[in-house]
């Protein structure tokens, strides 16, 4: 993992730009700064403006764990292709999978709600049903480690067992066998007929895209982390505008 803005890596980025790539972005912690209240996440005015310009030059997609409905409420530009629920929503219309995931999410919700209601330690845990998956938000929990342990145990007792994806202060319960962010990125490249792509994210679910090991995908992680499969990293989220400007070639 190497810092994106080293001269040698900038050259690699310039090389990618020549290939007219697909640009793919995670939302929370990548395009939008992480906030204490999950509901309050939004793009800065500057990022929004730069993204709007970018969408005139490149195909731009946003690949998030949020539902598309949620993303739409935060992004007012229809030129961005939105992929929600960690890759499940937005690309192919697989009604069978979709209906199955909806049913499962409701079924899991009922069981988890019983656990939340009967466990005082979980009083501050917020359950979000994102239609095709569930998110358990631990941000306000006073004892996150203990709460996490109980929630993971409860999730592992669900039938069928969900795919558990741990994020920053969140545990996601996703039906097994559904497309993840990496699958979604490859599908988007195919759909938009792009041989090359740029993908940037900050969290565990983004590793599904970082680990594709496709030389035509330029992968960047926000924050250096041991064990990440991303090739490049930024130091902090606030550097995102500098990345967007590179693609717009307005800082040379």
Residue 171: CB minimum distance to Mg ion, A: 14
Six-digit token pair at 212?
């594709």
CA distance linking residue 210 with residue 218, whole number of Å: 9
Q: At what angle are helices 45-57 and 240-248 packed, to 10 degrees?
A: 30
Six-digit token pair at 20?
């007219």
Mark 178-217 with x for binding to Mg ion (rule: CB under 5 A) and - for no binding. ------------------------xx--------------
Residue 26: CB minimum distance to Mg ion, A: 4
Residue 164: CB minimum distance to Mg ion, A: 17
Nearer to Mg ion (CB atom), residue 120 or residue 227? 227
> What are the C-alpha distances in Å from 145 to residues 97, 136, 155?
33, 13, 15
Q: Does 70 bind Mg ion (CB under 5 A)?
A: no
Q: Does 28 bind Mg ion (CB under 5 A)?
A: yes
Residue labelled with tokens 């395009």:
31
Nearer to Mg ion (CB atom), residue 131 or residue 172? 172
**Among residues 17, 21, 22, 29, which is the contact residue for Mg ion, using CB under 5 A?**
29
Question: Within the chain, how many helices (H) and strands (E) appear?
Answer: 8, 11
Question: Applying CB under 5 A, which residues contact Mg ion?
Answer: 26, 28-29, 202-203
């Amino acid at each position: 993992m190497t810092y994106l803005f080293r001269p040698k890596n900038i050259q690699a980025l310039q090389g990618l730009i020549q290939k007219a790539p697909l640009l793919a972005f995670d939302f929370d912690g990548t395009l939008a700064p992480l906030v204490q209240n999950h509901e309050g996440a939004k793009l800065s005015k500057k990022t929004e403006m730069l993204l709007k310009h970018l969408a005139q030059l490149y195909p731009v997609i946003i690949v998030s764990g949020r539902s598309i409905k949620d993303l739409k409420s935060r992004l007012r530009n229809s030129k961005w292709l939105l992929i929600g629920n960690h890759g499940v929503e937005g690309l192919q219309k697989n009604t069978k999978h979709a209906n199955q995931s909806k049913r499962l999410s409701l079924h899991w919700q009922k069981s988890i709600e019983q656990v939340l209601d009967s466990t005082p330690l979980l009083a501050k845990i917020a359950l979000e049903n994102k239609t095709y998956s569930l998110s358990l938000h631990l941000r306000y929990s006073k004892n996150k480690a203990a709460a996490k342990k109980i929630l993971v145990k409860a999730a592992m007792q669900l039938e069928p067992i969900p795919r558990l994806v741990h994020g920053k202060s969140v545990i996601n319960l996703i039906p097994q066998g559904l497309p993840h962010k990496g699958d979604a990125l490859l599908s988007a490249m195919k759909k938009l007929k792009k041989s090359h792509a740029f993908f940037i994210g900050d969290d565990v679910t983004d590793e599904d895209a970082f680990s594709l090991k496709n030389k035509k995908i330029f992968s960047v992680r926000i924050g250096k982390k041991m064990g990440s499969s991303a090739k490049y990293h930024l130091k902090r989220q606030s550097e995102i505008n500098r990345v967007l400007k590179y693609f717009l070639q307005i800082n040379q």
